[in-house]
Chain A
């Protein structure tokens, strides 16, 4: 059997009298006929299969080869009594897909066909690299086949390469018109010119294969040259090698710091769903759509501030890429979905790309532009490409860049208006009820123009520049980056201090920010008095309630924990230390916020180690913002950052008191 593994599908043509056959990928694309249609019997009973490939320039031909091999296997296209399988493989082993036929599972021996030109030897050397990756020192290379081009010194040139890589030249195929004549008549040279030199060269190859089948042949390890030695060979310099050449092992990212653990496309899609009158098209498989749009517990189906139910699933659509799309390209699916959303009345669509289109190289920008022009809908590509451009932080940056293309730069700022970046809703209704954000902003005589990417319309984003300042809801890395980005892109000045949490932060912030915005002194003081009175009332009721208790904290390095220190201080709790898990380089954390808290900090503490510390130091309670807190064996509570102001921090303080009360039962 001969299997052609080149998308050009010209391997078996002459065995079939010059006609081409249905390739495996043509069959899979058409979904018609029978799997057996891909098999043809040629001269001398040679069974022929061609893998085929996608249209040039689209999809992933390597993936096509991989899929074709799975197809051949799963449909039992290879008869058990097949004598010899010949895989005719593209010489440019450019990816894992093209290298599939070289796998030990398929090939017992590998012949490398080369001619006496540098690029051909370069490709032959690449094949050796591919085999070496599979086999290491094991012997599976039968030798080189020199397919002569007729240039001067060719035999010596290839001979020099063969010596350098330690392989024999098993056969030399002459440069001869016999081949072109045979080809023009749709015949193999062995059939058309059985007594020719060319035919003899083929027979020599056949005899080597026969020898290997009988156990008489010799196989060699793949020992490719490095670029320097290959260059010497190209210059006709003989090289002597006494060691294996090749690149060292690539360092794989496996550590806590290096590993990319979040999905850029997921965050990009999440940001885009903040524009509630826009559709989000996920260009990828359904699994990505499921992850982005809701998932197991429907985190993204929640209630908005007006207690309306929101479902992202209603506005997020998926191109539903399949294995087929990864071979033939997913452009058609994207175009179809974008058209259908535009026809359904969507005027703004974000097209977020996942890993698959990123790898196969779909022209997403081009498709978005053409559908947009045709339908009049505004279609914004968000080229996150899954994780290809990074994790959540990078995905957010990409989304921001896409979304801010909607901002109307002609809008003028209004002095009493501010925007808030990074606002979100808490599922804890008690905590939501004591959010002081509007009390704080309104108390200073200001108003909120836009909670950026929270329950926005495209119009809200267009009018973003009405805000005279951008405020961060918290000091999260994403908010800081967004603040800087918006300042650069839209010219809206960002205020560096996030909305405050806790008593002293809130009092200080309202004074500083009020002054920054030109709020009259008496307004600032009036508001400060209200907050200060509430704080005194809280202290009167809860001050010293947990006197003598010791606590250990477990927070990420970037967490704002001043408020925790403050409320624990009011309750009379002593803090032993704050432990922090290792930070990941993809998160781009710039500042170790925990160090501002004035308590001892221990870095790079994983959860097992945290539990060991608890076991040895025996604090009375543990507080943190880690999901794993539920597995702590002492009284514990998982704290999210409170809402702006003082009241939600007080609510958490009350819960800590209750925790200690019930833990004694």
Chain B
């Protein structure tokens, strides 16, 4: 996926917002389906112009004539229609092709008198990374909606995650619970999904606690510099694996001046329980020792995951490929791999050589397993084979530790 999809899906993370796509109908199909499935909102069917049986992402359905003559009036028609239905906030995006027309979309918004509640992205992030588009679009929405305000102690925003992430909703619930134990209330889940009102209130939070900074980098800077909300990043990356999880909560506690000891106890207990299972299994618990893994994921996920797999599970990397970059985690990862003489694993083709366990987009990992290129495929991101996330599936968080350990240690 690229930044254009990132943009559409970031705009869709506003539960009561609307995303207007200026582009061909084909460009909205997947994003519209993904939004319906991954953002928690009441399901409605919307018939008629610009929607045509899909409830999400009204679209101008640009055709050849529109490419030649321009079709900004279609955007105006959608805005007019939405205006009459009192939509609280809308984001207008252009498809890769439509971005070449040069339609004056901002003028249409001004003309409709909706510039206070409509953000025009004005740029198509085609072929940028997914997180790049996601991040920039969240920033554009925040610029429109959030204003500097007094901070409320004991409140944070949970950021740095896309609602399309595997197991997103269960993870968000878990993080809310653990942050709650520290006495922290979440004002807005910026990225995983929140309302317009929550974004407006988000600038009152005392910190943005960030899971994967790739999805909240530029927007994080905006919150820090313009709205005075500091960004908390995990010292060891996203909270993947017990060590990174402890470090992440430690950083949150430090920034918000709260006590995380109770949460650390829960994490310790969980790890201890897992270790008991492994140790009592004798040789079976060591079955994965010195076997191989490969990862295709964000730098913030790959770094702590590789650390955990190698340090605690005594596995060695075959390939580690970064789908999204974050300079500091990439450097840390490079250094870590270098220390175990596996520097060449970074950036190596993930399908070059056999891996016992592969972490990556579900469809790719499953295919590798089916072709015998790996033994266990752990689906950590989209695209996946058709699957409904009933069980906790995220690689992040406490349940993520269990999920990863369960899959890895049951590799046969």
CB within 8 Å of B: which residues of A? 60, 62-63, 66, 70, 95-97, 99-100, 103-105, 133-134, 249-250, 252-256, 259-263, 265-266, 284-288, 290-291, 294-299, 301, 308-309, 311, 313-314, 320-323, 326, 354-356, 358-360, 386-389, 391, 427, 581, 606-609, 626-628, 631
Contact = CB atoms under 8 A, between A and B. Distances in A.
Given A296-B34, A311-B367, A359-B100, 8 more contacts: A134-B107, A288-B96, A290-B5, A294-B363, A301-B367, A323-B124, A606-B48, A628-B53
12 contacts: A287-B127, A296-B33, A298-B363, A301-B385, A311-B367, A323-B124, A323-B126, A359-B100, A388-B64, A388-B67, A606-B47, A631-B45
Given A95-B102, A320-B127, A263 B24 contact: yes
Contact of B24 (A254, A260, A295): A260
B25 A309 contact: no
B367 A294 contact: no
**Closest 5 A/B residue pairs (Cβ):** A96-B102, A263-B26, A355-B97, A285-B126, A309-B370
Interface string B91-102: 000011101111
A354 B362 CA distance: 26
Contact of B100 (A286, A360, A581): A360
Contact of B363 (A70, A311, A321, A387): A311
A631 to B, nearest CB: 6
Give the interface centre of B64, B66, B69 by most chain A CB atoms within 10 Å: B64
A395 B192 CA distance: 36
Interface in B37-56: 37, 43, 45, 47-50, 52-53
B71 to A, nearest CB: 6
Given A290-B5, A355-B24, A260 B61 contact: yes
B126 A254 contact: no
A355 B95 contact: yes
Given A298-B386, A301-B367, A70 B97 contact: no
A297 B386 contact: yes
Give the interface centre of B77, B107, B363, B384 by most chain A CB atoms within 10 Å: B363
A355 B96 contact: yes
A246 to B, nearest CB: 14
Given A296-B30, A387-B26, A286 B65 contact: no
B391 to A, nearest CB: 18
Contact of A607 (B1, B24, B45, B61): B45
A102 to B, nearest CB: 10
B306 interface: no
Nearest to B71: A252
A159 B371 CA distance: 78
Contact of A608 (B45, B67, B74): B45
Interface in B65-101: 65-67, 69-71, 73-74, 77, 95-97, 99-101
Nearest to B386: A297
Interface string B14-44: 0000000000111101100110010000010
Contact of A261 (B25, B102, B107): B25
A256 B52 contact: yes
B106 interface: yes
Contacts of A99: 102
Given A260-B63, A386-B97, A285 B4 contact: yes
Contacts of B2: 285-287, 290
B47 A607 contact: yes
Nearest to A254: B49
Contacts, number: 204
Contacts of A96: 70, 101-104
Given A261-B25, A309-B366, A134 B52 contact: no
B106 A298 contact: no
B410 to A, nearest CB: 21
Contacts of A294: 363, 383
Given A252-B71, A256-B52, A286 B45 contact: no
Contact of A286 (B66, B69, B127, B363): B127
B352 to A, nearest CB: 14
B123 interface: yes
Contacts of A581: 53
A97 B45 contact: no
B100 A387 contact: no
B70 A631 contact: no
Contacts of A311: 363-364, 367
Interface residues of B, number: 65
Contacts of B382: 296
A285 B96 CA distance: 7
B122 interface: yes
Contacts of A255: 49
Given A253-B63, A259-B61, A631-B45, A291 B366 contact: no
Contact of A252 (B26, B73, B107): B73
Nearest to B77: A254
A284 B367 contact: no
B229 interface: no
A295 B383 contact: yes
A377 B30 CA distance: 33
A326 B125 CA distance: 12
Nearest to B6: A287
A100 B47 contact: no
Contacts of B102: 62-63, 66, 95-97, 99-100
Contacts of A626: 53
B288 interface: no
Contacts of A290: 1-2, 5, 30, 383
A134 B104 contact: yes
Contact of B127 (A285, A607, A631): A285
Contact of A297 (B47, B70, B127, B385): B385
Contacts of B67: 355, 359, 388
Given A96-B103, A252-B71, A259 B97 contact: no
Nearest to A97: B102
B38 to A, nearest CB: 9
B126 A321 contact: yes
B392 to A, nearest CB: 20
A298 B53 contact: no
Nearest to B24: A387
B26 A298 contact: no
Interface string B366-380: 110011000000000
B74 A252 contact: yes
B73 A322 contact: no
Contacts of B45: 607-608, 628, 631
Nearest to B367: A311
B219 to A, nearest CB: 16
B366 A301 contact: yes
A255 B102 CA distance: 24
Contacts of B5: 287, 290
Given A262-B26, A285-B4, A287-B27, A103 B97 contact: no
A263 B100 CA distance: 18
Contacts of B364: 311, 313
A266 B28 CA distance: 13
B61 A261 contact: yes
A620 B45 CA distance: 22
Contacts of A95: 101-102
A249 B69 CA distance: 11
Contacts of A360: 100
Contacts of B371: 309
Contacts of A105: 106-107
A99 to B, nearest CB: 7
A386 B62 CA distance: 11
A469 to B, nearest CB: 34
Nearest to B123: A70
A499 B386 CA distance: 29
A358 B128 CA distance: 21
A255 B52 CA distance: 9
A607 B53 contact: yes
Interface in B102-123: 102-104, 106-107, 122-123
Contacts of A133: 70
